[in-house]
């Protein structure tokens, strides 16, 4: 029986979108905040860093989770969640015991192993494939470069190494295609502060095409994806989501789309580049930087972002990079904001709450300008600031920030979402 919470398919229509292939369009009007459709995960996997904080099966966040009696590494709400998850958890339970600290398959490998199990268990179309089936996913194999192919071969080797006890594996070509499909169509599940919780496959959600001017947003309730309108949508209009972080200027967004999804966006934002000038704002004091200096600094900023991911002295790298960028870029420039965000993350890791708060206060208002309305990135930043201020006994400022986060989250998550309820409790001091 179809869930009463999921809009009937008559409200949506799969169609051929000109220049984009398959797409999804509305068959009635939707208003800002309307739930357009929901999609349970075809399969999902909790990231190892969140074990003990979230239920392995339903991703519920609570204290007092019960651990698996054998591996002692998977945690569940109750016996019901544990039993339901067993067909998936048994893939890893004995293997984790056997390999111990050497058990380290990537999240992509773990998710792909679960897809293989699900394909054997589920011979009919699942509720998650109401609009698009997993078998219809594009693999884009012909567009993979050598580096991406080598990564897939490495993942296949890890799949055989850690999961061979449970499978008669498909042939190599089938596995290559499956990994390529997962890389292009997998979703990252995040919490209200955009911390990584795990990965999942949502076939029906993958039907939506990309736009840098999206009219919907995808959020998560446990392991269920929810798609809500963030703009007014009229009957007959295509439904667009965003595949990437929209903070960056057009050239960066196009590079990210080409690298991960193998297409170039032709939306209004990309055609006009309307926000690029303010996103790449230069300093207004002293001598105006020359065009080649700006170009060189953009190149430096991109390299600095990559270097940060490999660095050990993270805060020092951030501060040195910010000093150098400051010679050309204004504080509102998106590359400066990106490095401030990394610095804020390092401060949070080091429990330097005042330092994190200072960086966050510099970030949040430019974020509000650069991101679309009802952005998860803006909401999560207000939420972090609110919680930091409340923890530092700055209650008035903390409540202001929490209210700003709540105003966005009630639209993108819905007023009944557990995250919304948690923030309301924080505002009430409970």
Give 378's contacts (C-beta < 8 A, 6+ positions apart). Answer: 364, 367, 368, 371, 408
Examine the pLDDT at 4 and tell me if it is beyond 50.
Answer: no
Q: What is the pLDDT of residues 67-115, one digit of tens each?
A: 999 999 999 999 999 999 999 999 999 899 999 999 999 999 999 999 9
Q: Give residue for tokens 């972080």.
A: 245
Say yes or no: 54 and 151 in one domain: yes
CB 239 within 8 A of CB 41: no
- Confirm whether 298 is domain-assigned: yes
Low-confidence winner among 198-202, 286-290, 410-414 (lowest mean pLDDT) = 286-290
**Percent over 70 (pLDDT), the chain:** 94
CB 89 within 8 A of CB 136: no
Say yes or no: 32 and 123 in one domain: yes
What number is the average pLDDT over the span 373-399? 97
Task: State the chain's mean pLDDT as an integer.
Answer: 92
Give 53's contacts (C-beta < 8 A, 6+ positions apart). Answer: 61, 65
- Confirm whether 4 is domain-assigned: no
Q: How many domains does the chain have?
A: 2
pLDDT of residue 3: 39
- C-alpha span between 153 and 128 (Å, rounded): 28
Binning pLDDT at 50, 70 and 90, where does residue 296 land? confident
Say yes or no: 291 and 420 in one domain: yes
Closest by CA to 209, choosing from 241, 244, 257, is 241
Say yes or no: 260 and 330 in one domain: yes
Examine the pLDDT at 2 and tell me if it is beyond 70.
Answer: no
Higher-confidence residue of 164 and 298: namely: 164
Q: What is the CATH number of the domain that holds 283?
A: 1.25.40.10
Low-confidence winner among 60-64, 163-167, 181-185, 243-247 (lowest mean pLDDT) = 163-167
Strand order in the sheet with 196-201: 43-46, 196-201, 186-190
pLDDT of residue 305: 64
- Confirm whether 364 is domain-assigned: yes
Binning pLDDT at 50, 70 and 90, where does residue 7 land? very low
Say yes or no: 330 and 200 in one domain: no
Examine the pLDDT at 316 and tell me if it is beyond 90.
Answer: no
pLDDT of residue 40: 97
Examine the pLDDT at 337 and tell me if it is beyond 60.
Answer: yes
Q: Phi then psi for 226, rounded to 5 degrees? A: -125, 130
Distance of CA 413 to the CA centre of its chain: 14
Q: Is 299 left (phi over 0), alpha (psi -120 to 50) or beta?
A: alpha
pLDDT of residue 5: 42
Domain end call among 191, 212, 239 = 239
Say yes or no: 299 and 168 in one domain: no
Q: What is the pLDDT of residues 105-145, one digit of tens each?
A: 999 999 999 999 999 888 889 999 999 999 999 999 999 99
DSSP 171: P
Domain that holds residue 261: 250-428
- Confirm whether 234 is domain-assigned: yes
Q: Whole-model pTM above 0.75?
A: yes
């Amino acid at each position: 029986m179809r869930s009463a919470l999921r809009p009937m398919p008559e409200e949506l229509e799969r169609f051929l979108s000109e220049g984009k292939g398959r797409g999804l369009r509305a068959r009635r009007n939707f208003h800002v905040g309307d739930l357009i459709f929901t999609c349970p995960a075809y399969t999902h996997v909790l990231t190892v860093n969140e074990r003990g904080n979230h239920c392995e099966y339903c991703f519920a966040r609570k204290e007092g989770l019960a651990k698996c009696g054998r591996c002692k590494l998977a945690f569940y709400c109750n016996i019901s969640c544990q039993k339901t998850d067993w067909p998936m958890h048994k893939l890893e339970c004995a293997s984790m015991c056997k390999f111990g600290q050497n058990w380290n398959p990537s999240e992509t490998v773990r998710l792909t192993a679960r897809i293989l199990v699900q394909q054997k268990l589920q011979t009919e179309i699942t509720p998650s494939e109401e609009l698009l089936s997993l078998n219809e996913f594009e693999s884009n194999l012909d567009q993979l470069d050598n580096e991406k192919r080598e990564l897939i071969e490495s993942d296949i080797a890890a799949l055989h190494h850690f999961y061979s006890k449970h499978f008669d594996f498909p042939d190599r070509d089938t596995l290559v295609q499956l990994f390529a499909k997962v890389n292009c169509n997998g979703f990252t599940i995040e919490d209200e502060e955009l911390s990584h919780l795990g990965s999942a496959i949502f076939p029906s959600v993958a039907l939506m095409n990309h736009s840098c001017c999206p009219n919907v947003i995808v959020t998560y309730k446990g392991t269920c994806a929810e798609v809500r309108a963030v703009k007014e949508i009229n009957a007959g209009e295509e439904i667009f989501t965003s595949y990437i972080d929209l903070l960056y200027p057009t050239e960066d967004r196009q590079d990210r789309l080409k690298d991960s999804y193998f297409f170039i966006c032709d939306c209004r934002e990309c055609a006009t580049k309307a926000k690029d000038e303010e996103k790449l704002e230069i300093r207004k004091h002293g001598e105006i930087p020359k065009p080649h200096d700006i170009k060189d600094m953009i190149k430096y900023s991109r390299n600095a972002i990559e270097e940060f991911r490999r660095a050990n002295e993270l805060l020092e790298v951030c501060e040195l990079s910010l000093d150098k960028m400051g010679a050309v870029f204004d504080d509102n420039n998106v590359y400066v904001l990106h490095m401030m965000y990394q610095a804020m993350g390092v401060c949070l890791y080091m429990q330097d709450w005042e330092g994190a708060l200072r960086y966050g206060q510099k970030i949040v208002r430019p974020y509000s300008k650069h991101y679309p309305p009802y952005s998860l990135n803006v909401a999560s930043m207000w939420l972090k600031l609110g919680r930091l201020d409340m923890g530092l006994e700055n209650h008035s400022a903390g409540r202001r920030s929490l209210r700003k986060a709540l105003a966005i989250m009630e639209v993108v998550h819905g007023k009944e979402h557990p995250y919304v309820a948690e923030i309301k409790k924080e505002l009430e001091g409970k």
